[in-house]
Structure 1
Amino acid sequence: MNRRSILRGLALGAVAVPAAVLLEGTAQAAQYSVAATEQVANKVYVWPKGKALTVANRQWSFSPGGGAWANLSDVRLRNTAAHGYVVLVAASGGRVGIVDHTSETDAEGNDLLWSAAPGGNPHAVERIEGNGSIVAASSGGFLSLYSPTAVSKPSTLALVKTYSLPGAHGVLWDPSMKVLWAIGDGTIRWYKVTGSYRSTRLSQAGSKSFSGLGHDLQPDYQNKGKLLFTASHGTYQFDTASKAITRLSTETRVKALVRHSSGEVLSVRADDTGARTWGSPTLRFSDSADRTRSGAEFYKARIWTPAYE
């Protein structure tokens, strides 16, 4: 079975339920925007799905510079009461941060509301809704919890606790179940959040094992109560209620995987070539044309929405 057949099979195999989330349009039209971390230019780009991946077509971008900001590895759009839309970013060079999503098209380092250096190759970053805390997942084997003295002031965030998670690669807040999902080496764990402000803590509530190193962890926007994740031996769906894991494909080296509310699947698969063997110049779509940017190395791709699920 070829790659597009796998992706379309994933999309068509979804449970036939009404779309739980409509993302920048309708499920029927499947018009939405995509955010991607591009590691050669070291920028976050946001493009309309149907447009060529050119600088001229960008809706928004973020350029943090190099050093500890090298190799951007994660991006998420979130909504806050105090600052409106903010963008969470992580870089394998060692830093994570919160970017003010202002009306300007091209954000830079001076648009950061907060940043920190958790170290250990940060792969993902998430915000705990209503609490204001930030959690970073570093592949060095730990989660870093940053909590504020005022939810409305990201500048007050400070490290309060680290938690061991071998191979930590992904984190995702679940507003329905009030838990933080995290993925690492052979495990998905979920954590309850206790306390507030600098007394915020994570308490592990359970775990589920699988084979291989876990990688990306994202919502299935067509199926509330389901998550999608990628690992060494394939792609998978995780049922947040039953904790059942369903294997979706045997495709390896998938670095990003997410399903839009229309059923279309967006993914990035490492091409195993060049200086960044973990990246690819192509964003893949199950129901429309793939998009390639010559010379680029995309690592993560996201549906551009503040929705957690």
Structure 2
Amino acid sequence: MLRRTLVALCALCAGCALLFCAPATGAQARSPGWAVVVVDQESRSVLVLQSAEELMAYRGPGRLPVVWGWSADRAAGLADLTPARSWTNPDEAKSRVRQGQRYLLTTASGGLAAVVDTTTGATHWAADLGGAANPHSIELLPDGNVAVSASGGGWVRLYAASQGPRATAHAGYPLPGAHGVHWDGRTGLLWVLGDDVLTALRVGGTPAAPTLTAVRSTPLPDHGGHDLAPVLAEPGRFWVSTQAGLWRYDPAADRFTAVRLGGPAAVRDVKSVGDEPGTGRLLTVAPDHSGPCSWCTSVITLHRPDGTRMLRGTHLYKARWWGGW
């Protein structure tokens, strides 16, 4: 079982949210690549794995090369949000750095949204938004406020998280099928992705009472917008995934360009996508439509150069480069 694997690999203290492993040494310390973070619904955990180079070379019989992890089930101070329910099917994990501190941003279909200090495990902000809302992505703004997109609720909300770890005051914007959210610091716009449109929102008001105003909206090339992420090699542009395709969007030209990755199957129903700084290597996750859930997989896929890695025993929903942006 994966739970036993994690316990054997990392020192897990009772009641502690963080899974700590030994510091990297030898080849691991010299690796030029970024680590990879995955959302595993089987272990109900966010897991940070070794770099792509090490991950692709790893041939352990049953142990995942985990270097850090977090689960709401073991997080101190979250009992009031009932993680046994609200942390069901975690579906997002991002790394963000604010004022020199790295944070994990995560959501779960059960309703939980959280921003966690990766050094101490302390919760910067968390809320139970309800399973009917189906939170799907999350973003941290420079002022400490937090944006959440909810596909079931059909909205994007900007919470006044800067005002406290359980702040509930928020601004809202209706967006059917809201799946993606990303803050573009270059333009000061909050980009949000729904079923059929990509929209840029202007944030106004104050940190305690924020507002959201749409400034532009572009129809998607096809239905079912899912993932929205920056193209790190081309600042200002975005990766956008839909049910049938993968796209690069250029806001300046207001144009979507199809991304080809070795056939239609490679770009269909992509749950997450991102490029590694320096190498340009793409990382994607898409469901294999088999096993216990139709929306998950045990495989992460890399492109340019191509390669796959099966993480046995996992039910992965997304995988991202564990960077700071």
TM range (shorter): 0.7 to 0.9
Could you tell me which runs of 5 or more consecutive residues in structure 1 were left unpaired when the two chains were aligned: 1-28
Q: Which amino acid aligns with 1:279?
A: C
Q: 2:317 aligns with which of 275, 299, 303?
A: 299
Which of 178, 183, 201 is the equivalent residue of 2:188?
178
**Is 1:267 paired with 2:269?**
no
What is aligned with 2:148?
A: 136
- Per-residue CA distance 1:230-273 (angstroms, 9 max, x = gap): 10111000012222111114431211111112111100011011
Partners of 1:118 and 1:144 within 8 A in 2: no
SS of alignment partner, residue 185 of structure 1: coil
**Which of 55, 58, 64 is equivalent to 2:66?**
58
Could you list the per-position Cα deviations for residues 195-227 of structure 1 after superposition, in whole angstroms to 9, with x for gaps in the alignment? 222221111111000221100111111111211
Structure 1 moving runs of 4+ over 4 Å: 53-56
Partner SS state of residue 67, structure 1? helix
Check if 1:256 corresponds to 2:272: yes
Residue 125 of structure 2 aligns with an amino acid whose one-letter code is W
TM-score (norm 1): 0.82
In structure 1, C-alpha distance between the alignment counterparts of 2:164 and 2:108, rounded to whole Å: 19
**3-state SS of the aligned residue for 1:41?**
coil
The farther-off stretch of 191-200 and 178-187 is: 191-200
Q: Mapping of 1:1-309 within 5 angstroms?
A: 31-48=33-50, 49=52, 50-51=54-55, 52=58, 57-65=65-73, 66-81=84-99, 84-102=101-119, 111-119=122-130, 120-129=133-142, 131-140=143-152, 141-148=154-161, 151=162, 154-155=164-165, 157-210=167-220, 211-249=222-260, 250=264, 251-261=267-277, 262-286=279-303, 287=305, 289-307=307-325
Q: Are 1:118 and 1:136, in contact at CA under 8 Å, matched by a contact in 2?
A: no
For residue 136 of structure 1, give the secondary structure of its aligned residue in structure 2: strand
CA positional deviation for 1:154: 4.3
Flag the 1:200–1:112 CA change in 2: closer, same or farther, 3 A.
same
Other structure's SS at 1:212 match? coil
2:109–2:135 Cα contact (<8 Å) kept: yes
Q: Which moved more, 1:52-61 or 1:83-92?
A: 52-61
Alpha-carbon offset, residue 112 of structure 1:
2.6
Offset at 1:59? 1.6
Counting aligned pairs with the same residue, the percent is 27
Counting matched residue pairs gives 268
Amino acid corresponding to residue 208 of structure 1 in structure 2: T
Q: Which runs of 5+ in 2 are unaligned?
A: 1-30, 74-83
Partner-residue secondary structure (3-state), 1:155? coil
Letter in 2 for 1:219: P
Higher relative contact order (CA 8 A, sep 6+): 1
What is the alpha-carbon distance in structure 2 between the residues aligned to residue 155 and residue 254 of structure 1?
32
